[in-house]
Structure 1
Amino acid sequence: MPRQTTAYIDLEALRNNYRTACARAGSAAAMAVVKADGYGHGIAQVALALADVAPKYAVACIEEAEAIRAAGISQPVVLLQGVHACDDLGDCERRHFEPVLHSEHQLDWLARFERSGDFPRFWLKINTGMNRLGFRPDDLHAVMARLEKLGADSRLLGFVSHFACADDSNSPMTATQTTTFEAATSSWPELMRSVGNSAAHFIPGQPLFDWSRPGIMLYGGSPIIGKTGPELGLEPVMSLEAPLITTRVVKAGETVGYGGAWIADQDTPMGMVAVGYGDGYPRHAGTGTPAAIGGRRIRLIGRVSMDMLAVDLSDAPAARAGDSVELWGRTVGVDEVASCAGTISYELLTGITRRVPRNYLKHLA
């Protein structure tokens, strides 16, 4: 019998979070971002759960878009990282993928389709200050002139950009980027525009234009510094659970785990849980990181091992081997665990490894 370490996925919570994104997007439509294997939740299952409500999906790369098609889903799929080879543009045209073109070499690839005219529908990325991908605003008129010369301008859907600091409500950079984006694209009001990541949905008065791009918020994680998902009205989608495999009393003065990093200051009931960094649980989650058993919050002690971690059972004295421990979920938020580990919920959710099975539920109790 396999161990019972499992990631339970609440698909109705996912749908509710998408509805929240739509409500917060106002007049903008919301393309569901399902990259990185649906943020670790399973791209096919996530996309299928949203298939009757999401008019468009967004992924990072073409192999993720192919996974959506393999699941039998026909909605358009935006490739946020564009394409990585010229031939991929032909696949995009045939498969109704919408690549985001962001570099001159991608325009060179596009030129190879000039003779046939079989251009895919595509977007242009505008670099408004993130300085990762995209054409500079001052170069946009030249880019548009080149597209018109190629005859590809009729296949251009619109413009996208990405915010660098939308998670920080005190940063003026989002407003600056928005102004830059509006000015850069003002000559083409007939084309669509998209800038709104998850965090932008929570900025009062922030324009989201034609399409927003909710990502982490769909999965219940917080996109805002200092806030948790539930505080923003989001429901947790993944509940990571693992069995308690033994219990014992650690005597005062004894240590637990590698390096003797935790020393008991009194006799302490302790349990070992069958999950570790080999499963994607963060190694840097130290003593005091919350977990839960039977709805009662407990804490980690000592270092996280590859396959196990230790918990203090002082606040759950009835716990026994075989009981299920929630590492994050409805009692303990993934944002809380991420904060204790010095990271963000995005990393935790996408980091759950293949040896942890996903169990898809209509709704968690």
Structure 2
Amino acid sequence: MSRPVLATLDLQALGNNLQVVRRAAPMSKVWSVVKANAYGHGLDRIWSALNKTDGFAMLNLEEAILLRQRGWKGPILMLEGFFHADELPLFDQYRLTTSVHSNWQINALKAAHLQAPLDVYLKINSGMNRLGFLPERVHSVWQQLRSFTSVDNITLMSHFAEAERPDGIAEPMARIEQAAEGMELPRSLANSAATLWHPEAHFDWVRPGIVLYGASPSGKWQDVANSGIRPVMTLSSEIIAVQTLKYGEAVGYGCHFRAQAEQRIGVVACGYADGYPRLAPSGTPVLVDGVRTTIVGAISMDMITVDLTPCPHAGIGAPVELWGKEIKIDEVASAAGTVGYELLCALAPRVPVVTM
């Protein structure tokens, strides 16, 4: 490994975060959400650290098959269900639970000839208006599904758009209750935010995602700072060059940053081609040689420049944490005008990844 940029995954932190979820929702089973290649961490790398979960939830059929091939025998929930009717034989073969959110999926299940019926998650549109059936249709869809020989157990499912807000689930919960009237079915409603902050939404299964990986569902680290959640991914590198700017001299593309006095600048081997956000502005936090400092100037494809004023002894080879245990990914994401989810998922393939 010649270039020093590296992503390190703390698998003990991943297991710890699952236990935090269990403490938050002690009466519920847990779907560990591992979509988007486990939020950029690599499903094949991390799934065994979550093997005490009750089930895995994801989108891609290929990833579900990978889990089965690796030996996972527990439930697997396909959050968007099957995308084409000809995938149903594989759902049958690998015993996958499918969500159902559209009329065409109902028709496909009705026509399917399976070795054994599939468990189904019936998706309620509770106001997010992405996937699911409107509350007034849910009862009739349930009646259809329960009549099919291809369908076994049915669970009601929905999703919250604003569960990070104290009052963010009241209206969706009212719609869900309307939809569920007259049906004594299990429910799976709670995402990470609802799992942490809305126990009234826990029911039978919770579906934590981002919180398992050690970031805040609200995008604000202070909201989970006392929860016991620990960051899983650390993105690190080193100083590869040092420049001393004179007053008025600029650094980086566009000359957006100019020194206000003589200033030492460190050049870090990491850039937007590694997954660091290109729009992170001057002032974005970074840790150099154990000292908190900030980025200065524009993010380049392969390099970042940082202020060495707070760490005058740092030089070439000094360690740099871009995000991780000290510099929380939510801080970096907020500075760049995005969310931690995006940064984790955007880790570039060229960055080596190690587990610990």
SS of 2:295's partner is strand
Aligned letter for 1:339? S
Shift of 1:225: 5.1
1:285 aligned residue: 280
5+ residue gaps in structure 2? none
Which of 289, 305, 309 does residue 310 from structure 1 map onto? 305
Displacement of 1:173: 4.0
| Structure 1 Cα separation of the partners of residues 193 and 321 of structure 2 | 27
Aligned pairs for 1:1-365 (under 5 A) are 1-51=1-51, 53-113=52-112, 118-153=116-151, 155-169=152-166, 172-189=167-184, 191-224=185-218, 226-228=220-222, 229-361=224-356
Partner amino acid, structure 2, of 1:73: W
Verify the 8 A CA contact 2:221 2:328 in the aligned structure 1. Answer: no
Q: Distance in 2 between matches of 1:247 and 1:265?
A: 17
Q: Which AA in structure 2 matches 1:337?
A: V
Q: TM-score, normalised by structure 2?
A: 0.96
Give the match's secondary structure for 2:237: strand
Shift of 1:207: 2.5
Alpha-carbon separation, structure 1, partners of 2:155 and 2:199 = 22
Contact 1:48 1:71 survives alignment (8 Å): no
Q: Which amino acid aligns with 1:157?
A: I
Letter of the structure 1 residue corresponding to residue 327 of structure 2: V
| Residues 99-108 or 229-238, more deviating | 229-238
Q: Distance in 2 between matches of 1:116 and 1:349?
A: 38
Q: CA deviation at 1:183?
A: 3.1
Counterpart contact for 2:28–2:206, Cα < 8 Å: yes
The residue type equivalent to 1:7 in the other structure is A
CA contact (8 A) 1:220 1:230 kept: no
Aligned amino acid, residue 200 of structure 2: Q
1:120 positional shift? 2.0
SS at match of 2:20: helix
Gaps of 5+ in 1: none
Residue identity opposite 2:218 in structure 1: I
Cα distance in 2 for partners of 1:86, 1:117 equals 15
Taking the aligned partners of 2:321 and 2:180, their CA distance within structure 1 comes to: 48
Q: 1:100 to 1:245 in 2, by over 3 A?
A: same
Q: CA deviation at 1:150?
A: 2.7
Give per-residue Cα distances to partners, 1:30-67, cap 9 Å, x unaligned. Answer: 1111111111111112211111x112000023122123
Query: CA contact under 8 A between 2:220 and 2:331: conserved in structure 1?
Result: no
7 and 50 in structure 1: CA distance in 2 versus 1, 3 angstrom threshold: same
2:89, 2:114 within 8 Å by CA — same for their partners in 1? no
Across the two proteins, how many residue pairs are aligned to each other?
A: 355
Q: How many angstroms apart in 1 are the aligned matches of 2:196 and 2:114?
A: 44
